[in-house]
Structures are given as C-alpha cells and as structure tokens.
Structure 1
Amino acid sequence: MDTIYAAISPLISSAIIVVRISGDKAVEVFELLNGADVKNIQPRNVYNLKYSGSVSDDVLAVYFKAPNSYTGEDVVEISFHGNPIIVSSAFKDFEKLGFVTAEPGEFTKRAFLNGKMDLTQAESVAELISSKTLQGIDYSYEQLKGSLRKEIEYIKDLFINALTIIEAHIDFPEEDIEDAHARIVFENLELLKAELSAILASYDSHRIMRDGYRIAIAGKPNTGKSSLMNFLLKEERAIVSDVAGTTRDYIESNFVLNGVPVSLVDTAGLRITSDAVEKAGIERTGEVIKDADLVLVLLDGSTPLDEEDKNVLESTKELKRLVVVNKSDRPLLLNDIKYDCLVSVKDGSGMSELLKKCGEVVSITDADRFGKAVMVTARQRGYFIKILETVEKLSDESEIDFDIFEYELNSSLRLLSEITGLSYTEDILTNIFNNFCIGK
C-alpha cells in the first residue's frame, strides 16, 4: 500500500496543525527533520525537531511503530505551527518522498483492513465526530469500544445454537429430532426476535441522540409560520410580511429544547400557485415535512377553515404532528377543528404550553436512553431488519423443514458478518468511508 498523509486537524490558521503519515515509508519523513537519526527513533517518544524541507519550522514529532498505531501501520504524527502555508509546503516535500494524499476515511479504513477494529467500530468513529448530543457521544464511544460487536456475538451464538441442531439432523437423517431439540431451536428463535426487535426499536431515539430533532412548521401562507420560528429562536431569523408567499424556500436554524438539539424549519406556505419559484418552494416543503420528526401544523384562528387548511391537515395526518391555532388575540372564527394548542405568537399567549408539548415529544425517556447500549447506523439497521424478517418467518413455522431452516439461518449469519465486516465488498467499504472527513 502507498504511504499516505493528511492533516488530522483543520487546515486553517490556528495554534497548531497536526499531520498524520501512515505506511511502510512513514519514518522516512524524519529525513526532513534536522537532528533526527532515523535508525534511533524510538516509538511513542516526542521529538522536538526542526523541519527543514521547502519551509522551516520547529515541530513536535511522534512515531508509532506497527502494529501499535491507529492504522496498524507505521505512523508518524507531526505538529506544525498553525499556518496552512507551512503545512502546504510540507505536503509538497512529502510528495517528493513518494507519499500520497489520504482519501476520506482512509486512515480508519486501513485500521479496519489491518484488524484494529471491526466495521461497526469504524462506523462509530464517524458517529462520534458527528453526534450532536452528550448521549450520542456516549453511545458512539461505547460502540467504538465494541458494544455493538458484543451484541452481535450474542446474536451469532443464538443462531449457532439453533443451527447446530439443524445440521446435526441433516448429517444424521436416520435420527428423529427430539421434541426437546426442536424446542431449543424455537426458544433460540424467540430470543433472537426479542434481541433484534430491541435493537431496531432503539434506532429512532438513538438517531435523535446522534443527530438531534427536526421540527417543521407547516401551513398555508400568512398563518404566522415565520413569526413562530422567530419566537422560538428568539431572533429575527425569518422575514415576516403580510404579503402571501414571502417564504419561497425553507429556512432552517437550530436551538436547544429540553437539552436536545432541535433543527427548526420554516417552510414555504402550502397553497395552489402559478408562480414557478413559489411552486418549487412548495414542492420542497412537502419533502421537508415528510422527513421531519415533528410537524407543527399552523392554522389562522381568525379566519374560517378553507381548502388550503384542509389540504395541509390531510397531507400531514399520517405524520407525528401538533395542530396549532394561531392569532388567539383576535376573535376565533375557526370552528369544528380539533387542535392541540391555541396560541398568539404576537402577544405570547399559549406559547409556554406549545413549548411544553414540543418538549414532551422531543424529550428522550430513560427507557429510550438506557434501553440498548448500542447505536446502529442506517446501514446496520437495514441488515437487522432483513435478519429479523427471517427469524419471524421461521418462528411462525409449525414444524422444522431442515433444509429451509439451514439455508435461512446460514443466510442470516452471512448478513451478520457483513455488519461487522467479517465479509465485505469494496462497494460496502466505499459507501462507508466516503462519508468520512479527510484526516480520519
């Protein structure tokens, strides 16, 4: 493999910029450091040396000898003074040594390929970096230490317990399967169902711990959506106007509610229009609403319910939503409608109740927080769904068809091995590591 390099801290003006080099030739970088004797460089010692390539700088350098490094290869990490010009000049020197620029996630990919971590741990590195809550960081860190791998090992053992009995009968067909052995197979399938269901049930709450919560404000034009957004954010984030259709595209901003990061989206007013720009904004609004964790459907209480209001209510009825009637400071003309909150964004009445209801939806319960000590990614979730479908299908059988059971159980074991990376394709690795930042 090539010897690769990249900045592992932001390549911007700062106190220091740290560069990592990994590969068989990594130690050759010491040729660019005055006072360093490559033959006598000791692993994990910090060397204060002068960089003397195409630019001069005082640096700190540390050598990690394979396999005791992040990637499992020889690694050198150099701390330069934080001027991007210095580091960019050093990169040109590295290229002369035959080093090549690291691809996104390539250091972690090499750690996986060299057996330093499995695929679930590799994915947790990206999760740890991107998590937006303390709980998300905790779960990602536990996964980095192998929490999901332990869960998968337990699931694997249950499959093997059942498969051992099935294959024993296939090898010795003259022996009738005892009722006790059949019972063991189905007991293991029930345990698998419970374990897989618990992992999948925790996906949504754990996704919120990692990514935060997304709330979309939806309604026809001039119901006060932009005013509501500004009230919740406590800043003039969205333009407020009496002219219908002011918001042509969605506007997104963040705040914290009950300790959970919330991404709040003010959407274009939902109505029938011939304006091409407004129409495009409305189409995008539909996509945003479907992707939201919670929709605040805002109605104008000072006007009777009309077809545009009915359209909004109909299009969101299958989503998690709160129906909010605004403009309670005026005479209420909106009749025969069931709503969750009556508010006036203008004078603030009812807003504390709305925030309370939003907080109840957003808040993560103790059962969610501590239900499962793993945080699965969307990729892993897809595999677990397929495995659970197989287990449920086998559990519903009244008797054991040995050939079918053997095939399905082995297929599920192969899917488990793809979750951990025991078996993988280059496409799987590309899809995972292309989402990493350069330097990781």
Structure 2
Amino acid sequence: MIDDTIAAISTAVGEAGISIVRISGKNAIQIISNIFKSKRNIDLKNVKSHTVHYGFIYEKDNGEIYDEVLVNVMRSPNTYTKEDVVEINCHGGYIPAKRILELVLKNGARLAEPGEFTKRAFLNGRIDMSQAEAVIDIIRSKTSLSNKYAMMQLKGSIKNRIEEIKNDLVKLIAHIFALMDFPDEDVELFKDDELVNGIKESIFKIDKIIESSEKGRIIREGLNTAIIGKPNAGKSSLLNALLNENRAIVTDIPGTTRDIIEEYLNIRGIPIKLIDTAGIRETKEVVEKIGVERSKEAINNADLIILVFDNSRPLEKEDYDILNIIENKNVIYVVNKIDLPSYINIEEIRKISNSKYIKISSKTNEGLDILENTVYNMVFENGLSNDEFLLTNMRHRDALYKARENLLSCLDTINKGLTEDFVSIDLNSAIDNLGLITGETANEDLINEVFSKFCVGK
C-alpha cells in the first residue's frame, strides 16, 4: 500500500496559457483544502468527485494570494492513479507553478519521482506495464503514425496478445498437473501430439509478434538514415532539401561539413532520423579526419544508407572506397545535381546498383518525391493496413525471445522422453518471461528502470 502523497508540475517549463500542478495520494484533498480559498466559500473536502472549482491559492499563515486558479477534484478509484487526485490549473509560466508546488510540498506532499504518477497507476492495477510504457511513447511520438501505435498499445494491443498466449500455456500446465496429481483418476491423457501442437501454436503466435518488431522499432524510434558520399557530392544540400530548411551549411568548398548533423523527417508517418555526414576521403587535416571517422561510425549504426553521387563529376577513387565501406548495408543510390551537365558514368552506377538508382536535384527538388517513396517502400514493402499490429518496444521483443526459447526447450524435453514435470518447468519459465512484458513478474529493479525514463509529473 502506498501511504504518502506526491506532487509535481505536469506541464512543460516555459510561458504558456496554463500550467498544471498535480497531487495524488490519500492526503491530496486535505492539502488542497488547506491552501485553496473558494469564491463561493466551498470546502473542497466536501465536494463531489470530478468537479472543477474557481478560487485562489493562498498562504494560510500570512494570507498572501499566490494565484487565481481552477482546481479539479477527482476521488479514488476513478482517477489516473486510482488514488485521490487534485489538479491545480494556474497561470502559465515557471514561477506561478513553482510557487504553488512549493506551497503544496510545505503542506505535506512529497515531490514526485520521474513517472511516479504512472507508476502508481501500474502498482494500483489500473494499467499493466506495457500500457504504462505506451504513455511515454505517446509523449515522445515523432509522427502521427508513431502516436497511433502508442495509443493502440495503451488500449491493450500487446497486453491482450500476451494474455492470450499465457492463458494457452496455463491450460497446458493445468492438464499436466492433473496427470501428475491424479494418475489413477479418469483424466483425459494429454497425448504427445496435442501437447506438442499446443506448444507449437504458442511459438507461432510469438513469432508473429516478433516479426512485426523491426517495423515497430522504426515507427517508435525512427529509421536511422545516413547520407554519405565523397566531399561536395551534395549531401548537406540533400538534407536541407528534404527538411525544406537551411539546416546545414552548404558551400562549394569540399569538406565543409566537419561533424554529424541529425534531424528528423516525417515520410508518410515514418520518423526518419537523417544523419548528414562529413565527406569520406583520405585526409591529413585533424578536424576533418575526426569528422570522417564519425561518418564511418554513423554508417555502422545506420538502418539505411543514402549514397550520394555527384552527377557533375566522374566517379573517382573516393566513390569506390565508400562502396567498399557500405557492403552488406541497405543502400539507396542517388545521383545528385542533375540540373548540372552530366560527367558521371551512368553505366558504372547501373553495375553498382543493379540498375536501381534515383536521379535528383537538391537545388530544384526534382526526384525528391521518388526518393521519399523509395525510403517508405523499403520499410513497408506492401504498405501498412490501418489495423495492423506492430510490436514497438524492444524490451517486449527481448522477453518474447526468452519465452520462445523456453517453449523450444519444452519441445526438446518431450523429444527426449522426460517426465511431465520437466515440461511444466519450462512452461512456467515461458509464462514468467511473458509476465515481464505486462509487469506481473517484473522485479523492483525492472519497474524502477522502466519508470525512470518518464518525465517528472507524468
């Protein structure tokens, strides 16, 4: 049972129309009653749940008015945390909210830890851990598509699938225990093929979820896309054209870009993390050399490479050196500067890219729509249906892999002819690993790790 009362500012720091100070816990309503003066002389301890009241926050000791506010009173259990919750809507800005929070803390509340309101919602059984993690995904979503899948998770898209698999495994264990506990009773035997088929069916369901995880990861975290090429190939110009702003410095001098520049681009709902890199070439200049090394590191970490060739220059040793670096990577080959006279050997490009290359001009924007469509199709080859499920959280994927290994161990145990109790051990381990996703079997360290990623006030 959670005995204390917590408080925090739930809105972002900065000037705004409204700021919100949130209080949750058994003393929330008593605390607000001590510092709130109603225009209608209403005692908030006696008001109905989910009602809004106008008045002033004031210091009882000296009568100083802190701010004119609206106070929302929400009584347990029908609240975000399933505790009594009060939200003080004050004027926007850091100082009004900060002063009110300090007064709330002075009257008995404790400053909330990061994510503690959502943590209490989880601990009090309002949501499971996967739904709690969806809250932070909603806050951090970079596109409408990532927001959509976070909302699906909040509504229980992963929870429901995990519960279905767990229920199937629990039924298998129950039958095994019946055979072990009542061997002489008239209990229907769990034939080997039925047990094997039940385990295989669960593995199949897990595999279907795991298969969706790579697309889900990209939607949640973004597609790491490195724009690379030799110096002055037009990489920074391409970045600026895709973003439709002058984000990177562009000159005719090779080696202008010395460091990594990162920006997000929304392509049909996919967050694309564009990484503009320094031109890759042999150099003795110290700063440029560091930039080249960082470019190579960005290549290693990239999900996708956009290799830019300069249409106005023939292919050079630097181009071929880069091709050796990006071997076995997902690559889109781009011929830039088609607004200039062509000196590049297109036949060589065809050999390199198996005839798959895109001709663009970062200056006139010609071909950029084809490039964007190509990026989208590399992620979603057959498009994305409105109701398609995607696993977006890599912690969940890791737990599913562990559960899958447990079930494969079950099949191995059966093949070896071992007794049912050995099978039940692996089945229970699979259930425990699935429980890490919903939080049922999560230990305190894991719970704290998950909620430490939240902001204070949520």
TM-score between both structures, scaled by the size of structure 2: 0.86
Query: Residues 342, 208 of structure 1: CA spacing in aligned structure 2 closer, same or farther, 3 A cutoff?
Result: closer
> What's the offset of the Cα at 1:387?
1.4
Alpha-carbon distance in 2 for matches of 1:141, 1:344? 37
Q: State whether structure 2 residue 352 is matched by structure 1 residue 338.
A: yes
1:352 and 1:92 mapped to 2: Cα distance?
53
For the 8 Å contact 1:152–1:416, the answer to whether it is kept is yes
- 118-127 or 79-88: which moved more? 79-88
Are residue 375 (structure 1) and residue 387 (structure 2) matched? no
1:269 is matched with 279
Instruction: Please state how far the C-alpha of 1:296 moved relative to its aligned partner.
Output: 0.6
* 1:361 partner letter: M
Q: CA offset at residue 37 of structure 1?
A: 1.9
Residue 131 and residue 342 in structure 1: after superposition, are their counterparts in 2 closer, same or farther (change >3 A)?
closer
1:388 pairs with 387, 404, 412, which one? 404
- The 5-angstrom pairing of residues 158-307 of structure 1 reads 158-171=168-181, 181-301=191-311, 302-306=313-317
Query: SS of 2:19's equivalent?
Result: strand
Q: SS of the counterpart of 1:338?
A: helix
C-alpha contact 2:336 2:360 (8 A) present in aligned 1: yes
Cα distance, 1:208–1:376 mapped onto 2, change above 3 Å: closer
- Return closer, same or farther for 1:369/1:274 CA change in 2, 3 Å cut-off: farther
5 Å-filtered alignment, 1:62-211, equals 62-171=72-181, 181-211=191-221
Cα shift at 1:413: 0.9
Q: Secondary structure at the match of 1:280?
A: helix
1:342 Cα deviation (Å)?
A: 5.0
| TM-aligned CA distance change 1:348 to 1:70, over 3 Å | closer
Q: What is the distance in 2 between the residues matched to 1:421 and 1:349?
A: 50
Query: 1:39-50 residue pairs with structure 2 within 5 A?
Result: 39-50=45-56
1:210-258 CA deviation, whole Å, 9 max, x = no partner?
3443322112222221122223233332222333322111112233333
1 CA distance for matches of 2:222 and 2:276? 17
**Separation in structure 1 between the aligned mates of residue 283 and residue 184 of structure 2, nearest angstrom:** 75
Q: Which residue of 2 aligns with 1:401?
A: 418
Structure 1 equivalent of residue 453 of structure 2: 435
Q: Give 3-state SS (helix, strand or coil) of 2:68's partner.
A: strand
Partner AA of 2:232 in structure 1? N
The worse-fitting range, judged by mean Cα deviation, of 258-267 and 108-117 is 258-267
Structure 2's unaligned 5+ residue stretches are none
Contact conserved, 2:8 with 2:111, CA < 8 A, in 1?
Answer: yes
Structure 1: where are the runs of 5+ without partners?
none
Using the alignment, how far apart are the partners of 2:366 and 2:201 within structure 1? 51
In 2 relative to 1, CA 46–342 (structure 1 residues): closer, same or farther, beyond 3 Å? Answer: closer
Q: By how many angstroms is 1:432 displaced? A: 0.8
Shift of 1:80: 0.8
Structure 2: distance between partners of 1:285 and 1:47: 57
Residue 35 of structure 2: which of 19, 32, 47 is its match? 32
Partner-residue secondary structure (3-state), 1:235: coil
| Per-residue deviation, residues 184-203 of structure 1 (Å, max 9, x unmatched) | 11111221122111111111
Give the TM-score normalised by the residue count of structure 1.
0.90
Structure 1 pair 38/334, CA: closer, same or farther in 2 (3 Å)? closer
In structure 1, what is the equivalent of residue 10 of structure 2? 8
1:391 counterpart letter in structure 2: L
Return the letter of the residue paired with 1:325: V
Among all aligned residue pairs of Structure 1 and Structure 2, give the percentage whose two residues are the same amino acid.
Answer: 36
Instruction: Count the aligned residue pairs.
Output: 438
SS in 2 for 1:98: coil
C-alpha change, 1:344 and 1:130, in structure 2 (3 Å) is closer
